[in-house]
Amino acid sequence: MIQTILIIFGLLAFLDALFTKWNTWNEIEKFFLNVSEKTNVKLFYSLAFCMFCQRFWISVLLTIVFGLISEFSFSLIFIPMIVAGIMNLIKNPA
């Protein structure tokens, strides 16, 4: 499980650096804001309004791809929350 956490964390850190460099995080937030305004459903915007939420959903997608490549197991359920939490602690120290 530690190996999986490190792999997903490395991929998320790489994507975080790319998204920060290309200002993609703001574009993702604007996209979900536009979708929620057009559909009158605030759920879409509430899924991606903070950096933790965006990192969490990116790590969910990375975990699903990792599970498809390797094998799905029950321990993969907790990986996105752990990885997003560690990334949040590193990027936004209290």
Degrees to nearest 5, angle at CA 25 with 21 and 30: 135
- Write down the pLDDT at residue 94: 66
Alpha-carbon distance values, 63 to 41, 56, 89 (Å): 27, 10, 20
d(CA 76, CA 5): 9
Structure tokens at 30: 């604007």
Structure tokens at 37: 């305004």
What's the average model confidence in pLDDT over 81-90?
93
Tell me which of 47 and 81 has the higher pLDDT: 81
- pTM here is 0.85
